[in-house]
A and B are shown apart, each in its own frame.
Chain A
Amino acid sequence: MQADKEILIKLAQQNPSELSPDELGQTALLRKIQIPRPLVMVNSSTSGIVAGSMRTWEAIEQYAAERSIDIDLAETGSIGLSSEDPVISVQLPGRTRIFFSRITAEKVPSLLDDLFHREVPDQHVIGQLYREGQEPWKDVPSLEDIPYFALQSRIVLESCGIIDPFSIEEYIAGGGYRAFLLTIRSYTFSEVCDLVSDSGLRGRSGGGFSTGEKWKAAFRTPSDQKFLVCNAEESDPGAFMDRTLMEGDPFRLLEGISIAAYAIGSNRAYIYIRSEYKNAIRRINNAIKILREMGLLGDNILDSGYNLQISLRKGPGAFVCGEETALIASLEGRRGIPSSKPPYPSTSGYLGRPTVVNNVETLSNLPGIIRNGPDWFKGIGTTECPGTKIFSISGRVKLTGLVEVPLGTSFDTIVNKIIGGVGKGRELKALHVGGPSGCMVPVELMDIPVTYETLKEKGLIMGSGGIFVMDDQSCVVNTVSYFMEYMNKQSCGKCIPCREGTRRMAEILRSITRKPADEEGHTTLEQFKGVMQLETLAEVMKDTSLCGLGQNAPNPVLSTLKYFRHEYEEHIFNRRCPSNSCTELRSWFIDVDLCTGCSICAKRCPAEAIIGTARHPYFIDQEKCIGCGICHEVCKFTAVYYK
């Protein structure tokens, strides 16, 4: 280990061009470009595990053991294709590595049989990864050529799914830690701030605030202690870029944190991570331990005189703790409740000290920026928004996964070209961008370049980059109502507009998606009254809520009222769900031929809407039916259907 350590540090200090042939050979070995034995790498990220990659792993072990084949088995993160898990990659000595999709345990023997016979199976191939000096496989597309990768600019994700997240050797051999060593050896604190300011990097969590400027505010505030906090709460359901980054390339994040901490003159950094992210926590803890052993963390790092401790804190589970002041309260051992700004954390944060809170993706951008310089970074994306952004795409799409593209790329490229659009025979209806407090982008706006400013102009926001794709079977009102209910559960409850407003809006939206219990009287009136208030409520919530949660919670409603008003009107005035997914708006009928007249449905109908005589077909009084579907559920003869 000792010798390894010295070589690694040396590697991290030098440009590849300055390395001796011997050292270059070392690097190739460490980067798994030259390998002595067959290598199988299994995606052991959460998405892989859920899909059964641990069973795949065991099957591979068993396969090798039964045949006494000497192979290396290693873990990787996700290459970003969550729906294709378990993804594994196989590399034979001297050959390129091939990636396969959906390799569940039972598929292992035949796959490996084929490969060890130098054959590539017809199915499950994603592509091969070309690297210098390796012999490619015939008739296997290069990863770079398949649409999913071809149109992306993978900078932050460059190593995700490729390298072993437990191995610092692989990280450093691939260029890791060069940026940090450069930082502590060649730049003063404020030079790093300036450099990052100059690069134009903006916070990737949603607001798009200049990272360098935020650092400067903290750097300039005098204090005995400053803190850097990595916000790894990633609370938006449906957003998984931060987790994928941490599971696939944890050392990159830690290097980024180290650079940021140095820039603001802090010796203490925290990673606040959701406690549910067990796999990411394991990888980060491992990485911190290794970095300490290597002397890349701790006191007097590599004799630079700079000290840094990074500790991990598990967030006990509350969406609002992603908000920075709430996060800080949580770190301090309090209820995770946001507080008014000013004062901003950068002047008075954790324990009253200047604190910079940065997002995982923001921090993971830093090694690249330092290594390649701000001008390189400015060359990517747009002038106002340089760099790339990672989006996580889910919903009614062919592929579910991460996409990293230069800012300024259109939604059309992201969703249709890269991810392959909606399923066959379906039509794209909308994109929901930015999680539960995000907004709904109509098809007409698919071509706008995605930057913080262009979206804002259209009354939309980027949020953290979750994109939920909706096709013609997805209901706009139903989706918005789900988000509002979610926000209501997640509101901290401190301030009135958010606590009560999200609740009332959720109720109103929910009431639109079901038939009123009595069509004539009271409930219809109440329902109608509620709908009339939606816009006022939304505006007052935006205007008066204390934190971003309440201020942004009405976004889905406001954007859909703007772009999808007709869907609301269909629901409200015609009591019809255009996509037929609001079950409680459905009209139910009894098939005369199938009904045996058992009368069960009539007994269970809460609205007493089913009429008939025993042993003769029953029928449903449409005036009375509230669409609950209970009759459908209880009928043993499948006689109840909907239109």
Chain B
Amino acid sequence: MADETARIEVILKRFPQIKRNALIPLLQAVQDEFGYISEEAISSIGAHLSLPTSKIYGLATFYNQFSFTPRGFYHVVLCNGTSCHMSGSGELLSELAKLLEIKDGETTRDGMFSLEVQSCIGACGQSPVMAVNGEYHSRISVKELREIIKQYREDAGR
């Protein structure tokens, strides 16, 4: 806890100007550092910028980038842009929902996987595309998806 406070302090120091337009960069820094935005972070940022915390929560829930629960050990990003959708990412999504028992924006109970659906991650030519902790898998089928997830599970077990 004390550690968290100190790390938040360090981030706040990087934004000495107490202006509202520093809010998003601040939250992004916190999200990058911790992988999520904690209650403590909200209240420190609120105090730092003299902003009601409801405004911070309201803002953060508006944007996809921020989450209030820690991300999984594996962060799965599935593209559901037009191309990927038409190449079957919808089915991949329901398969993931079955395999991991989570929906977009959620993390598995054991903290192993979290899932985020994005729209177009920039490789429509290789759709459908999925990224796990930044590692890309392109042109995947439902069967390959099962294999991929299995592989990650095994890797984590080791």
Contact = CB atoms under 8 A, between A and B. Distances in A.
| In-complex A–B contact (CB below 8 Å) | yes
Interface of A: 45-47, 49-52, 81-85, 235-240, 243, 275-277, 313-314, 316-319, 330-337, 351, 392, 394-396, 399-401, 432, 435-436, 466, 468, 474, 479, 482-483, 486, 492
Nearest to B21: A333
B122 interface: yes
14 contacts: A46-B121, A50-B121, A50-B123, A51-B123, A51-B136, A51-B138, A85-B125, A275-B65, A316-B27, A316-B28, A331-B21, A332-B21, A337-B62, A394-B125
A128 to B, nearest CB: 22
A46 B124 CA distance: 10
Contacts of A336: 62-63
Given A237-B119, A335-B58, A50 B129 contact: yes
Contacts of B65: 275, 316-317
B23 interface: yes
A47 B84 CA distance: 13
Contacts of B58: 335
Contacts of A235: 119
Enumerate the 5 nearest inter-chain pairs by beta-carbon distance, A residue then B residue, closest first: A83-B125, A82-B125, A317-B64, A237-B81, A400-B125
Given A316-B27, A317-B63, A394 B21 contact: no
A395 B118 CA distance: 18
A82 B66 contact: no
A82 B139 CA distance: 13
Interface in B54-71: 58-59, 62-66
A628 to B, nearest CB: 12
A237 B84 CA distance: 10
Nearest to B83: A394
Q: Which of B19, B58, B126 has the most CB of A within 10 A?
A: B126
A468 B127 CA distance: 13
B149 interface: no
B60 to A, nearest CB: 8
A470 to B, nearest CB: 8
Contact of A239 (B21, B86, B120, B129): B120
A394 B19 contact: no
B136 A49 contact: yes
A316 B64 CA distance: 6
Contacts of A82: 123-126
A47 B81 contact: no
Given A394-B127, A401-B125, 8 more contacts: A50-B123, A83-B125, A238-B81, A316-B65, A333-B22, A334-B20, A482-B82, A492-B62
Nearest to B90: A482
B82 A47 contact: no
B124 A400 contact: yes
Contacts of A276: 118, 121-122
B82 A394 contact: yes
B85 interface: yes
Contacts of A313: 24-25
Interface string B95-137: 0000000000000000000000011111111110101000010
A61 B136 CA distance: 21
Interface of B: 19-25, 27-28, 58-59, 62-66, 80-83, 85-86, 118-127, 129, 131, 136, 138
Nearest to A319: B119
Given A50-B126, A333-B20, A401-B125, A395 B59 contact: no
A482 B24 CA distance: 30
B123 A318 contact: no
Contacts of A401: 125
Nearest to A435: B82
A331 to B, nearest CB: 6
Contacts of A396: 86
A81 B25 CA distance: 34
Contacts of A468: 82-83, 86
A269 to B, nearest CB: 15
Contacts of A334: 20, 59
Nearest to A399: B125
A316 B62 CA distance: 9
B86 A395 contact: yes
A240 B127 contact: no
A47 B83 CA distance: 13
A333 B23 contact: yes
Contacts of B124: 47, 82, 238, 240, 392, 394, 400
A483 B66 CA distance: 24
A46 B59 contact: no
A13 to B, nearest CB: 36
Given A316-B27, A317-B63, A335-B59, A237 B21 contact: no
B122 A47 contact: yes
B85 to A, nearest CB: 5
A338 to B, nearest CB: 12
Contacts of B66: 316
Interface-central residue, A47, A236, A351, A492, by most chain B CB under 10 Å: A47
A318 B126 contact: no
Given A333-B23, A395-B86, A50 B122 contact: yes
A358 B51 CA distance: 31
A401 B123 CA distance: 9
A400 B64 contact: no
A85 B123 contact: yes
Contacts of B80: 237
A484 B80 CA distance: 14
Contacts of B119: 235, 237, 319, 486
A432 B62 CA distance: 28
A479 B86 contact: yes
Contacts of B85: 482
